Amino acid sequence: MITLDGITKRYDDVTVLDDVCLTVPDGKLTALVGPNGAGKSTLLSIASRLLPTDAGTVHLDGMDVLTARDTEVAQRLAVLRQDNRVAARLSVVDLVRFGRFPYCRGRLRAEDHAAVAEALAYMELDDLRDRYLDQLSGGQRQRAFIAMVLAQDTDHVLLDEPLNNLDMRHAVQMMRRLRDLVTTRGKTVVVVLHDINFAAAHADHVVAMRDGRVVAAGTPQQIVCTDVLQAVYDLTVPVHHVEDQPVAVYFS
Amino acid sequence: MSASAPATTGRGAPGLSPQEPAVVHSDVECGRRRRVRLTLVALAALTVAAVLAFGFIDLKGSWEYALGLRARQVAALLVVGVAVGASSVVFQTIAGSRILTPGVMGFDSLYLLVQTVVVYVFGTATFLSLGAQNRFLVNLVLLTMFGLLLFRWLFRRSSRNLFVLVLIGVVCGSLFAALTSFASRLLSPNDYLTLQDVAFASFTTVDADLLGVTAVITAAACLGFVPLLRRLDIVDLGHDTATGLGVGYHRVVLTSLVLVTVLVASSTALVGPMTFLGLIVANLARQLLPTHRHAVLVPAAALVGAICTVLGQTVVVHVFALTTTLSVVVNLVGGLYFLYLLMRTARL
């Protein structure tokens, strides 16, 4: 269980996160939603110790994420930001092998190779394994990075906007895979999502943020309703139910 | 350290993989690795050839004397080539850009500034009476110190925007050059001549003792890279990915930066500045070798550096008959190449 307590982040005079307290339930798919500038990505970065916090603590089942050893954290928590830098002449399989670094420091053993092969197969990257990353489309590259995170084989996976640059089909496939990770492998997945309807369709738990604060948290049914969306986005959004799923119609 | 892993990697785990004959290294991968190995061997052979060419072309007069002199010169060229090559590749990785090398970031202007200030403060008499070794040490310490300050400060500006960094490098370079020119105006004509002597890269007169010291420092710093190589592969992916994978990003960057600064400082203190050498060498090595692995890239860049300096000096001596110097040639070629890289990146 990831527990954030009193997380505060300021840039000069601008407060990006204001005393955020949040508990991420284990074995669930949690979606972080909210308008631009709400602090979702910042919160995710702080929770995964990519960004230093000005105040507050992050605990993962009793381990202090912000002070624990790098390797120790990396064996239990994997994170992926958007817009990852791509090294030249790096093939897909070599990228996925990096995922084993916390366990083998770069000297892969048989079990590491097995984990890499499994991650590649899971993300359907076998055909692309020897391609260089800069020869791939945005969506393929995204899948390669996710495969790296899967090879890391952590109980907790944090992803910042994994649907960025993905078309409808790939976006749905990505969400199904994440869903599958939670359901069949019992992983805890946290994603920052832009589209509230993806959260409604795939997440177990939705956390809505605004202006650096958590304004609502609950099941998709509780969050995706006109009142809450009004409070989060300042927009009146009619919510319909299609096959038992709330769908926010915010286009018109 | 065996960097390239054969088909069945893994210490003492042959019993663990009877599940399925999972492809550990595909044919494409093995082909790439073979090409990398071949290229490395070819580079090593070329280095030896270049050294022989430098040593034996047009050898006249007293063989013993001439060979002794050339051996010293070629050793200096090798040391500088290796130091500049290895340090530039690592610097590119931690800077996250193929355009940035210590030379581009104003290190050479810093060298000239330090020289000028030292001559100004001590005066020619003291400067010369210090002896070559002490001068070298003073240079080395000052350069390492200020170089480290400069690079740390550059990387602290957390904006990783490439063009901002290039701009800062250019501005720093101009600032140091302006300060140098200001300080040199305060010098007596005598001091100024002393300064001119040390301000330009020279391989023809190299002190044997200094060469020894520089060689030892270079070897030690290069060895210092060895435990960092695998982590540098990951640092190449940027701070966030590296941190996520449990690589102590800042520690790797700082350690690398110290080693890079020591390498550049010692080779610059030995022969003087060659601004664009690192840029050419590092990019050439990256083009020649289709790999992201620093266990390959760093030694390859060291070899390419050695080849460039030794072959370059051979050409300068035998084709141009010493009417020009290696640093002029390097800066001309390197400067054009730098412009080309900038244009290509900016898509102007």
Give B102's DSSP letter.
T
Instruction: Record the tokens describing residue B129, joined without a space.
Output: 């009476």
Facing residue for B22 by CB, picked from A84, A102, A114: A114
Q: What is the pLDDT of residue A101?
A: 94
Measured between alpha carbons, how far is A84 from B238 in angstroms, rounded to an integer? Answer: 8
Decide: A93 and A127 in contact? Cβ < 8 Å.
no
Measured between alpha carbons, how far is A15 from A10 in angstroms, rounded to an integer? Answer: 4
Q: What is the pLDDT of residue B348?
A: 45
Confirm or reject contact between A134 and chain B (CB < 8 A).
no
Question: ∠B265-B268-B272 over CA atoms, to 5°?
Answer: 155
Report domain extents, chain B: 68-346
Q: How many CB pairs under 8 A join A and B?
A: 108
Which CATH superfamily includes the segment(s) A1-76+159-252? Answer: P-loop containing nucleotide triphosphate hydrolases (3.40.50.300)
Among the listed ranges A26-35, B6-15, B327-336, which one has the minimum average pLDDT value?
B6-15
* Residue B182: pLDDT band with limits 50, 70, 90: confident
Q: How close, in Å, is residue B245 to chain A by CA atoms?
A: 5
Say whether A87 and B292 touch across the interface (CB within 8 A): yes
Give the tens place of pLDDT for each residue, B67-125. Answer: 888 888 899 999 999 999 999 999 999 888 888 888 878 888 888 888 888 888 877 77
pLDDT at B12 over 70: no
Q: What is the pLDDT of residue B161?
A: 64
* Residue B298: pLDDT band with limits 50, 70, 90: very high
pLDDT at B216 over 90: yes
Decide: A50 and A80 in contact? Cβ < 8 Å.
no
Q: What is the pLDDT of residue B23?
A: 65
- Residue of A45, A98, A154, A157 to mutate, interface with B, max B Cβ within 10 Å: A98
Residue with tokens 């034996």: B56
Higher pLDDT, B191 or A192: A192
Give every residue of chain A whose pLDDT is below 50, as ranges.
none
Q: What is the pLDDT of residue A76?
A: 92
Q: What is the pLDDT of residue B159?
A: 54
Q: What is the pLDDT of residue A97?
A: 94
Among the listed ranges B4-18, B100-114, B217-231, B272-286, which one has the minimum average pLDDT value?
B4-18
Predicted-complex ipTM score: 0.89
Measured between alpha carbons, how far is A32 from A194 in angstroms, rounded to an integer? Answer: 9
DSSP for B46-94? HHHHHHHHHHHTT--S-HHHHHHHHHHHHHHHHHHHHHHHHHHHHHHHH
Say whether A114 and B10 touch across the interface (CB within 8 A): no
Q: What is the pLDDT of residue B13?
A: 40
Percentage of chain B beyond pLDDT 70 is: 87
| CATH 3.40.50.300 domain locations along chain A | 1-76+159-252
pLDDT at B21 over 70: no
* Residue B328: pLDDT band with limits 50, 70, 90: confident
CATH for B68-346 is: 1.10.3470.10
Q: What is the pLDDT of residue B35?
A: 92
Secondary structure of chain B: what % helix, strand, coil (to 5)? 75, 0, 25
Measured between alpha carbons, how far is B25 from B262 in angstroms, rounded to an integer? Answer: 38
Averaged pLDDT of chain B: 82
- Residue of A101, A116, A153, A161 to mutate, interface with B, max B Cβ within 10 Å: A101
Cβ-in-10-Å burial (0-12, 13-18, 19+) of A31 comes to: buried
pLDDT at B171 over 90: no
pLDDT at B199 over 70: no
- Taking residues B214-220, what's their average pLDDT? 93
Measured N-to-C along each axis, helices B107-129 and B131-156 cross at an angle, to the nearest 10 degrees, of: 160
pLDDT at B264 over 60: yes
* Residue B147: pLDDT band with limits 50, 70, 90: confident
Facing residue for B246 by CB, picked from A74, A89, A90: A74
Residues of B with CB under 8 A from a CB of A: 5, 9-11, 13-14, 16-17, 19, 22-24, 26, 28-29, 96, 98, 230-231, 233-234, 236-241, 243-248, 286, 289-292
Measured between alpha carbons, how far is A215 from A208 in angstroms, rounded to an integer? Answer: 6
Q: What is the pLDDT of residue B200?
A: 65
Instruction: Record the tokens describing residue A139, joined without a space.
Output: 């969506």
Q: What is the pLDDT of residue A231?
A: 87
pLDDT at B15 over 60: no
* Residue B198: pLDDT band with limits 50, 70, 90: low
Maximum average pLDDT range among A56-60, A105-109, B152-156, B300-304 = B300-304
pLDDT at B7 over 60: no
Facing residue for B16 by CB, picked from A45, A84, A111: A111
Decide: B263 and B86 in contact? Cβ < 8 Å.
yes
pLDDT at B294 over 80: yes
Q: What is the pLDDT of residue B162?
A: 66
Decide: A34 and A199 in contact? Cβ < 8 Å.
no
Return the H-helix or E-strand segment holding A9. Answer: strand A2-11
Q: What is the pLDDT of residue A187?
A: 93
Q: In B, which residues are within 8 Å of A110 by CB distance?
A: 9-10, 13-14, 16-17
Q: In B, which residues are within 8 Å of A86 by CB distance?
A: 237
- Residue of B160, B237, B251, B253 to mutate, interface with A, max A Cβ within 10 Å: B237
Give B207's DSSP letter.
-
Q: How far is CA A97 from CA A116, A125, B194, B245, B270, in A?
A: 6, 13, 55, 11, 41
* Residue B166: pLDDT band with limits 50, 70, 90: confident
Q: Give the residue from B95, B45, B302, B334 showing the smallest Cα distance to B201.
A: B334
Query: What number of H helices and E strands is found in chain B?
Result: 13, 0
